[in-house]
Every structure is written in C-alpha cells, then in structure tokens.
Amino acid sequence: MAETMLQIDHIDVFYGAIHALKGVSLEVQTGEIVTLIGANGAGKSTTLRTISGLLAPKAGTITFLGADITGKKAHEIVKDGISQVPEGRRVFAEMTVLENLELGAFTRTDKAGIASDLEMVFARFPRLKERRAQLAGTLSGGEQQMLAMGRALMSRPKLLLLDEPSMGLAPLLIREIFDIIADINKEGTTVLLVEQNANMALSIASRAYVLETGRITLSGAAKELAASEDVRKAYLGG
C-alpha cells in the first residue's frame, strides 16, 4: 500500500484568459478513494479534465504510475489506465447501451477479456443488461449514470475519475451510486471523485481535498475534514 498512483505537482491551467487552476497539487495512492470537493466553479471539473488530457497545463507536471503524462493526448491517457466518467454522464445518446459499453473498451483488443468485463458490468448494473438494445438517450438519469460508469469500467482502468456522479439524481439513487463506487474501489480500482455533495463524498473517501477558486485550501483525512468546523460551515450545510 501507500504507493503513489497519481501525482499532480503545481499545475496551472487556463481557459483562454481565465486562470482556472493556480498551482494545484494533489496525490492519489493506489487503492484509495480520494475526493475533491468545492463550490461550483472552483475548478474541480477542470482538474479532472486536465488529468484526462482534455486540457493541457501551462505549468506543472502530472505523473501517473511513475511516468510523466503531462500534455499527453486524451486518447493516449485512456490507454495508460485512466478512465473518466464525465460530468453530465455524456452517454452517446443515439447509440445503444451495448454500443456505448463497447466503445468503453475501444482501446482493448482482447475479445475474451472484453466479453467477461461486459458480463461483470451487467452483473453490477442489471438494468443495463435488460436495456442493452435500447438507445442510451432513452434511459433515465440514474440509468445513464450507471451506463457512463459501466462504460468507463470497460477500459479496465487503474484509476477511475468520477465527475459529479450524484448530479440531478434522487437521494435514494445517489446512495445506490455511492455504494457502487465503494464496491468498485474494494475490487481494486483507485478512485478520484469530484463532488458537490460533500457529505456523501466524505462518507466513502479516505482522503479529501477542498478546492476554492482554483486553489487547494484544505486537505486531509476525509473523517477529519467532515468534522472540521470550516468545512461543515462551507460545504456540509452547517
């Protein structure tokens, strides 16, 4: 344990003229669930997008399993073992559930492995199996979230990035989704979770970072942050 999987070192990221991330550093150890919490617009999604290679940092480095992946293209980073469930799920609405899952395995060529992982995803999300031939756009919000997660798992990632998995879902469903995230982690996938629902995120994470207007302002064990007065006031509703 305690081997560093992902190391972000002082990255600066810009959206045009907007300085979105200012010297952000964080790390994720193998086997952990780490959560990044913060208000809307703090730069949480930007951080995940930068790790995935959709944005390139102006300065700083990102190291994954000992290799520098800064500035690598998004499709190459997937091959390295980082998979993302993007904000708003972004399923391919005009394709079937099955095709969405197949696309998740795009980088792989091991047919037998893909088939067994597909069964694994169907076992985890039985509703997807029932709807495998249905167009993804016709699924409910919760089912789309499950599809987006199943799709990300199909690349057999070492590190799973989740961007706001609770967004727009009913409380009962949120509970279900978070249980699944904890399960996925238990079975060996490291997770970096971005959430506005700080309560839920802190309840399953081992460590947490708080992001405020592009800077990390707090970090530590999830339990400690959940107990901290500042965090309670700002993010946990008192």
Contacts with another protein by CB under 8 A lie at 52-54, 73-75, 78-79, 83-84, 86, 88, 90, 92-95, 99, 102-104, 106-107, 137, 141, 144, 151, 155, 168
Give the Cα separation of 110 and 90 in Å (integer): 26
Taking the complex as a whole, how short is the minimal distance between the CB of residue 54 and another protein, in angstroms? 6
Q: What is the DSSP string of 188-203?
A: T-EEEEEES-HHHHHH
Choice between 31 and 88, CB closer to another protein: 88
Choice between 107 and 219, CB closer to another protein: 107
Give the Cα separation of 25 and 10 in Å (integer): 5
List the alpha helices (DSSP H) in the chain.
Answer: 44-51, 74-80, 97-104, 111-124, 126-130, 141-153, 171-186, 198-204, 222-227, 229-235
Taking the complex as a whole, how short is the minimal distance between the CB of residue 95 and another protein, in angstroms? 6
Strands across the sheet containing 190-195 = 82-85, 159-163, 190-195, 33-37, 207-212, 215-221
Please report which helix (H) or strand (E) contains residue 219, including its range: strand 215-221
Taking the complex as a whole, how short is the minimal distance between the CB of residue 79 and another protein, in angstroms? 6
Taking the complex as a whole, how short is the minimal distance between the CB of residue 102 and another protein, in angstroms? 7
Tokens of 93: 């609405």
Choice between 60 and 88, CB closer to another protein: 88
Taking the complex as a whole, how short is the minimal distance between the CB of residue 166 and another protein, in angstroms? 13
Taking the complex as a whole, how short is the minimal distance between the CB of residue 82 and another protein, in angstroms? 10
Choice between 47 and 207, CB closer to another protein: 47
Choice between 42 and 105, CB closer to another protein: 105
Which positions ≥6 away from 177 have C-beta within 8 Å?
142, 145, 146, 149, 165, 166, 169
Choice between 21 and 105, CB closer to another protein: 105
Secondary structure class of 211 (helix, strand, coil): strand
Cβ-count burial of 205 within 10 angstroms (0-12 exposed, 13-18 middle, 19+ buried)? buried
How many other C-beta atoms are found inside a 10 Å radius of the C-beta of residue 57? 20
Choice between 149 and 234, CB closer to another protein: 149
Taking the complex as a whole, how short is the minimal distance between the CB of residue 217 and another protein, in angstroms? 28
